[in-house]
């Protein structure tokens, strides 16, 4: 029996942080309650409309698509109140109505967004009313407001007539609701609505404004509102719903709410039946690519470009190349994808023509046509890549080419694409940030006022993309015990489980751009990427997963890859410093007869064989560097294989791969024919493509069947995989294999079919990895300068790269006002810090500084700088503190420079004003030439070395001057066993062992264990770098008084390698603070010359000289080591000889001075600052 009621006012989880109804659950419950129709009316948006429609189709319920709009008189009016709008329910009853609903949503987000609400106004409503049904909505509607708050029946009637005029009398309904009962504002509203219903004969419906599915979710919804508004759950004055009745009631429950007017129930069904729309009816289609005259179709033009591209790539086109082009083209033509490829090559050409390096990742590299069009840079024939992995006749899905661009210029390419193919026909895509397990607990705990308890719970929840609260309770015994024994914990988790997985906010898909043949507002609702900037791209309001199959919308991927920025910047540096216009395509990947290029290629592989892969794309992690030393790669295939194998699972095959390469393990095949696909990887299955080729060639699977087999393996659908086993074995037997060998082969390919790497992707990234290694090995200053530029904002990475540059013999010089550019630059084989690296300056002042230097040459003094550049005091002070002005007045004068800034600025300002009047401030005679400026630095107290170094660290992120700990090296001698860099570079080789480090404690993070005991972690920085140290509770209690920020300590502990994070850390067991650190750092270093005179060659003179040498040696050996240096010189009047030992550091105290003077005489001791 058909139900006589339909819910037409329904909020799903897409009413963000308000609706608690999950769409599948909502629809399932509506059907269980006997209803045949259901609407979706989320606040101001249509985010969930497509999912709702498809799920209703799936579950056999008739969908009604609508929204509850935010309505104002005029969107251009911006009132001070954030809630100055009315609610209005709009339902689409025709296709035109659905399109108008999308257009109104788009207008709300692109023209009416205010205080986060996408408002529409009455003019917009009037222009887009066709095909829509409107209702008077909840208490927030215009008519209810007039009836309840203003008690103005005449105005309410006028409003009704306005809506009837706009939508038509049959398309406007009064909406009765009842959530609280007699005496409520809603009750007063219903009384007024009833009068209008009787007097004006306006059709009416009954709704329930549902925000959650079941009544027992009311408390969770109430708490959800607290999260939305940032309120405490126990705040008596916060906003809350007036009852717990806002759920999916049954038709019987709804009938009890308003029995006096039975029409209001039946009308809901009648209204729903009128709403017959199909959001998937209109398809987007590919944009038409404008082809040149003379070509009948896009197919003909594409084929012509392919042939030209083949000649560009290969010179003479061989039979195999021609056959592959024809094969691929036949499939592209059959599927109607010519325009897709033409658009992609157009965008790629734009990028390359504008100096933007790009490459295709993933299976697209298997297409020879993509290679000939310049879309990819990897020859699929050279690397044996499968076109069928990218596209085959039995697959009906659209091609998917993922393009990488330098992250610094990706937006430039996106903007070109949108301008070229129409702003109204291109858009990015919405994404939804959901409440994950930890996030839901934190939000709930915050709303309940139990933040600390929430933090304790979240620490027990594992980290990972598929972690849920339920799986955490199942897997973590301590969390489970806490949940069962602590009522507050169970309250937080129970609430959080009801909210977990709900949409919290929106974002924009990082890479995808949609292209359409028709205006997108006819197909999808839209918003603006930046609501405040009307020039920013549109954003599609439906998630990507609903678009391609249902609406025919094609996504082009514009991915950002920082290493492409590094490559481009490195090539620019090479051009400027070496005069070489180097092209990536000309870098020799394979052996070459050219002796210069051959040497450079070998140099790159030799560097990788040493494991020197820091800053090399895909190869720089500690564990990977260890494997490279074992592998000693000699060809690009080795690099490709390491890119593919270095992941959980396949990593287990790396030792076998290495052993087979070096002949330590014999390469054996279950069938000789397997060598055709496995020889390049020394008999080890590395790529998913190898599994596919085996299935196609040995098991006889068609490419369509191969693709289905691959998907089953990838998704680990083992029951489905098992269904292929019989066919696989039988196919191999039919092709001449023994059944036992075929079964063993099936078992062998299973794991790699699932997590094996796409070979085309490995080739694309392997080639880029090789390019970066080649440039680093042959142009170290240029490459490392580019790497530093790309990571300039990451001080930790900058420090690592600087250490690597030093290791390669490349100095990294500090910022200099007369030599630095905006960013890092290459200077005579070394790297110079850019001015932009100094915090607190910015591009504006730097541009002014560089302009002045270009126009009139280097700055000669502080006052000359202040005369020629009008920047603020703070900018100049930061330049001085960072050492950028040291070259003007000489080193060691930063204290005087800082004291002179104000005077110099005043002087400079006066001088500029005078020169603008064509008068010289010091000389009134206009005919005389300018005289050098006379200005003296102010005398000032010296600044401690520690303060100077602290400023450098603060403003640049690292120490440009010698690290503070270099002044304390003598305190560490004989006690420190390793530097942090030594341990980090060893990576997995470090093993377990006791070590002692010396350094500065930074970044302390104290926290409690699951048992409530305190422990901590911190970074220990030494002169080479820094690493993480963990202090467990027992040791923390013992040494916590020594754990302070910036404290210099000796630390003993045990090394530990964490494979998952590929990092080394230290488990601390002892901390010893160093004394007199400040004094040692600031003490002046000296070089002391000890001169020993030997007059005459008789035995007595020689004996005296020997005694003096022995006494001096004994005296110096007893002395404390320090950071003073000494030299010993023996002279006899005719010659001088130095007797200085290799280790010549001492602490030259007054006492030591006195002892040496007794031996040599005061006149033979000379002390000079060092």
Q: Burial level of 143, CB count in 10 A (0-12/13-18/19+)?
A: buried
Mean pLDDT over 981-1009 rounds to 80
CATH of domain 964-1081: 2.40.50.140
- What angle do the packed helices 654-661 and 622-631 form, to 10 degrees? 20
Q: What is the pLDDT of residue 920?
A: 46
Taking residues 111-136, report their average pLDDT. 95
| Residue predicted with more confidence, 514 or 794 | 514
- As a whole number, the mean pLDDT across the chain is 88
Distances (CA, A) of 1163 to 475, 1092, 1117, 1144, 1157: 79, 10, 22, 21, 8
Report pLDDT for 893: 87
**DSSP secondary structure code for residue 937 in this structure:** P
pLDDT of res. 926: 38
pLDDT of residue 310: 95
The pLDDT value recorded for residue 1061 is 65
Query: Is the pLDDT confidence value at 109 over 90?
Result: yes
Which fold would CATH assign to domain 298-431+508-560? Answer: glyoxalase-related enzyme like fold (3.30.1900)
Assess whether pLDDT exceeds 60 at residue 609: yes
Structure tokens at 484: 């069962």
pLDDT tens by residue, 436-480: 999 999 999 999 999 999 998 998 888 877 889 999 999 888 899
Beta strands in 44-99 (DSSP E): 62-72, 86-92
Distance CA 683, CA 748 (A): 12
Yes or no: say if 527 and 110 are a contact pair by the CB < 8 Å rule. yes
Q: Is the pLDDT of residue 1138 over 90?
A: no
Specify the pLDDT at position 400. Answer: 85
In this model, does residue 958 exceed pLDDT 90? no
**Residues, the chain:** 1170
The vertex-1121 CA angle with 1118 and 1125, nearest 5°, equals 110
Q: Which fold has domain 23-213+248-274?
A: TIM Barrel (3.20.20)
Question: In the predicted model, what is the mean pLDDT of residues 1076-1099?
Answer: 66
| Residue 406 neighbours by CB under 8 Å, 6+ apart | 356, 357, 560, 561, 562, 564, 565, 568
What is the pLDDT at residue 311? 95
pLDDT tens, position by position, 672-708: 998 888 888 888 888 888 888 888 889 898 888 888 8
Mean pLDDT of 1073-1100: 67
Q: How far apart are CA 1148 and CA 760, in angstroms?
A: 66
| Least confident stretch, 140-154, 208-222, 525-539, 963-977 | 963-977
pLDDT (tens digit, 9 = 90+) per residue, 175-199?
Answer: 999 988 777 899 999 999 999 999 9
1066 in Cβ contact with 1055 (< 8 Å): yes
pLDDT digits (tens, 9 = 90+) for 477-523: 889 998 999 999 999 999 999 999 999 999 998 889 999 999 999 99
Q: Which of 8-22, 257-271, 847-861, 1046-1060 has the lowest mean pLDDT?
A: 1046-1060
pLDDT at 37 over 90: yes
539-543, 732-736, 793-797, 842-846: range with lowest mean pLDDT: 793-797
- Positive or negative CA dihedral for 804, 806, 808, 813? positive
pLDDT per residue as tens digits for the range 924-952? 443 344 444 567 888 888 888 778 888 88
Contact 232, 447 (CB under 8 A): yes
For the stretch 338-357, pLDDT in tens is 999 999 999 999 999 998 98
Q: Are 801 and 791 in contact (CB under 8 A)?
A: yes
- Reference 880, options 947, 806, 784; nearest CA is 947
**619-648 pLDDT per residue, tens:** 988 788 888 999 999 999 999 999 988 877
Beta bridge partners of 1021: 1000, 1026
Q: Where are the domains of the chain?
A: 23-213+248-274, 298-431+508-560, 811-956, 964-1081, 1084-1169
Q: What percent of the chain has pLDDT over 70?
A: 93
Query: Residue 53 in contact with residue 240, Cβ under 8 Å?
Result: no
Instruction: Kindly report the backbone phi and psi dihedral angles of residue 277, in degrees, each rounded to the nearest multiple of 5, phi listed first.
Output: -135, 160
Say whether 954 sits in a helix, a strand or coil. Answer: helix
CA 894/CA 960 separation, integer angstroms: 14
Q: What is the model's pTM? A: 0.80
Q: Is the pLDDT of residue 362 over 50?
A: yes
3-state SS of 458-502? HHHCCCCCCCCHHHHHHHCHHHHHHHHHCHHHHHHHHHHHHHCCC
Does the structure show a pLDDT above 90 at 304? Answer: yes
């Amino acid at each position: 029996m058909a139900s006589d009621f339909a819910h037409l006012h329904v909020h799903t989880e897409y009413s963000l942080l308000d609706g608690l109804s999950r769409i599948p659950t909502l629809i399932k419950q509506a059907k269980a309650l006997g209803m045949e129709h259901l609407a979706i009316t989320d606040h101001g948006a249509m985010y969930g409309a497509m999912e709702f429609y498809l799920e209703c189709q799936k579950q056999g319920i008739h969908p009604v698509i609508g929204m509850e709009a935010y309505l104002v008189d005029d969107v251009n009016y911006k009132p001070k109140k954030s809630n100055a709008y009315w609610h209005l329910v709009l339902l689409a009853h025709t296709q035109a109505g659905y399109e108008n609903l999308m257009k109104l949503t788009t207008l709300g987000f692109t023209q009416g967004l205010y205080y986060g609400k996408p408002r529409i106004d009455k003019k917009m409503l009037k222009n887009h009313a066709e095909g829509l049904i409107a209702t008077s909505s909840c208490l927030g509607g215009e008519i209810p407001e007039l009836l309840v708050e203003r008690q103005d029946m005449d105005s309410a009637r006028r409003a009704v007539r306005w809506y009837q005029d706009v939508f038509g009398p049959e398309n406007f309904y009064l909406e009765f609701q009842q959530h609280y009962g007699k005496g409520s504002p809603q009750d007063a509203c219903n009384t007024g609505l009833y009068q209008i219903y009787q007097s004006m004969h306006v059709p009416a419906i009954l709704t329930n404004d549902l925000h959650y599915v079941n009544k027992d979710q009311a408390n969770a919804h109430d708490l959800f509102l607290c999260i939305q508004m940032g309120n405490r759950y126990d705040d008596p004055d916060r906003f809350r719903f007036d009852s717990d009745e806002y759920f999916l009631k049954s038709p019987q429950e709804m009938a009890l709410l308003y029995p006096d007017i039975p029409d209001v129930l039946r009308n809901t069904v009648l209204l729903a039946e009128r709403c017959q729309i199909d959001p998937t009816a209109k398809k987007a289609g590919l944009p038409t690519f404008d082809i040149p005259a003379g070509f009948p179709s896009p197919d003909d033009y594409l084929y012509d470009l392919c042939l030209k591209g083949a000649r560009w790539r290969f010179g003479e086109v061989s039979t195999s190349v021609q056959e592959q082009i024809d094969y691929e083209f036949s499939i592209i033509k059959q599927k109607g994808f010519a325009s897709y490829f033409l658009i992609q090559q157009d965008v790629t050409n734009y990028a390359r023509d504008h100096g933007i390096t790009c490459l295709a990742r993933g299976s697209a590299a298997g297409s020879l046509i993509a290679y000939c069009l310049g879309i990819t840079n990897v020859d699929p024939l050279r690397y044996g890549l499968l076109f069928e992995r990218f596209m085959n006749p039995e697959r009906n899905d659209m091609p998917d080419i993922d393009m990488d661009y330098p992250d610094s210029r990706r937006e430039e390419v996106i903007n070109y694409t949108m301008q070229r193919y129409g702003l109204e026909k291109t858009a990015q895509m919405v994404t939804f940030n959901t409440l994950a397990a930890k996030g839901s607990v934190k939000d709930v705990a915050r709303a309940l006022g139990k933040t600390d308890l929430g933090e304790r719970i979240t620490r027990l929840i594992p980290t990972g993309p598929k972690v849920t609260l339920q799986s955490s309770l199942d897997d973590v015994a301590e969390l489970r015990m806490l949940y069962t024994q602590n009522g507050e914990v169970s309250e937080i988790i129970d609430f959080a489980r009801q909210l977990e997985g709900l949409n919290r906010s929106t974002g924009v898909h990082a890479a995808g751009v949609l292209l359409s043949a028709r205006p997108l507002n006819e197909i999808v609702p839209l918003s603006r990427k930046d609501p405040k900037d009307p020039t920013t791209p549109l954003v599609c309001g439906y998630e990507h997963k609903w678009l391609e199959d249902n609406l025919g919308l094609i996504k082009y991927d514009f991915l950002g890859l920082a290493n492409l920025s590094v490559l481009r910047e490195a090539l620019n540096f090479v051009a400027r410093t070496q005069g070489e216009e180097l092209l990536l395509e000309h870098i020799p990947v394979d052996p070459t007869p050219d002796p210069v290029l051959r040497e450079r290629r070998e140099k790159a592989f030799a560097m990788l064989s040493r494991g020197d892969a820091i800053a090399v794309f895909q190869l720089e992690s500690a564990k990977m560097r260890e494997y490279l030393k074992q592998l000693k790669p000699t060809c690009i295939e080795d690099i490709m294989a390491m890119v593919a194998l270095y992941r959980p699972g396949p990593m287990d095959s790396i030792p076998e791969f290495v052993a087979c390469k070096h002949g330590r393990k014999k390469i054996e095949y279950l069938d000789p024919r397997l060598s055709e696909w496995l020889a390049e990887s020394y008999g080890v299955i590395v790529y998913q493509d190898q599994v596919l080729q085996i299935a196609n060639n040995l098991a006889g699977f068609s490419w369509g069947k191969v693709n289905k087999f691959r998907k089953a393996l990838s998704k680990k659908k083992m029951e489905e995989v098992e269904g292929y086993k019989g066919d696989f074995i039988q196919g191999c037997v039919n092709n001449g294999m023994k059944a036992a060998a075929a079964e063993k082969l099936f078992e062998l390919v299973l794991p790699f079919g699932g997590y094996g790497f796409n070979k085309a992707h490995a080739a694309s990234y392997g080639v880029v990895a090789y390019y970066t290694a080649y440039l680093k090995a042959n142009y170290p200053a240029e490459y490392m300068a580019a790497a530093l530029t790309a990571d300039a904002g990451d001080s930790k990475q900058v420090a690592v790269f600087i250490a690597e540059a030093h290791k390669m013999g490349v100095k990294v010089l500090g910022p200099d006002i007369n030599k630095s550019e905006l960013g890092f630059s290459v200077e005579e084989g070394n790297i110079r810090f850019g001015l932009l690296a100094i915090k607190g300056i910015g591009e504006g002042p730097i541009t002014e500084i560089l302009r002045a230097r270009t126009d009139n040459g280097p700055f000669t003094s502080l006052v000359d700088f202040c005369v020629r550049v009008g920047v603020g005091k703070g900018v100049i002070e930061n330049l001085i503190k960072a050492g950028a002005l040291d070259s003007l007045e000489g080193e060691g004068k930063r204290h005087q420079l800082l004291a002179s800034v104000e005077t110099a600025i005043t002087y400079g300002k006066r001088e500029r004003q005078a020169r603008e009047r064509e008068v010289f401030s010091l000389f009134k005679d206009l005919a005389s030439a300018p005289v050098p400026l006379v200005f003296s630095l102010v005398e000032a107290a010296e600044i401690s070395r520690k303060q100077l170094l602290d400023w450098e660290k603060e403003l640049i992120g690292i120490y440009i001057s010698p690290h503070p700990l270099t002044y304390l090296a003598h305190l560490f001698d004989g006690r420190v066993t390793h530097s942090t860099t030594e341990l980090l570079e060893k990576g997995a080789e470090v093993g377990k062992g006791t070590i002692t480090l010396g350094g500065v404690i930074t970044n302390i993070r104290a926290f409690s264990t699951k048992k409530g005991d305190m422990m901590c972690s911190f970074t220990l920085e030494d002169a080479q770098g820094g690493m993480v140290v963990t202090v467990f509770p027992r040791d923390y209690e013992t040494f916590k008084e020594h754990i302070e920020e910036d404290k210099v300590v000796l630390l003993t502990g045990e090394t530990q390698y964490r494979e998952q994070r590929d990092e080394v850390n230290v488990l601390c067991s002892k901390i010893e603070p160093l004394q007199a650190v400040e004094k040692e750092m600031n003490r002046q270093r000296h070089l002391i010359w000890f001169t020993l005179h030997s007059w005459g060659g008789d035995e007595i003179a020689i004996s005296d000289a020997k005694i003096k040498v022995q006494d001096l040696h004994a005296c110096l050996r007893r002395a404390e080591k320090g950071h003073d240096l000494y030299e010993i010189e023996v002279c006899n009047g005719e010659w001088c000889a130095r007797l200085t030992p290799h280790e010549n550091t001492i602490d030259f105290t007054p006492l030591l001075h006195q002892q040496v003077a007794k031996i040599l005489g005061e006149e033979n001791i000379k002390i000079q600052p060092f």
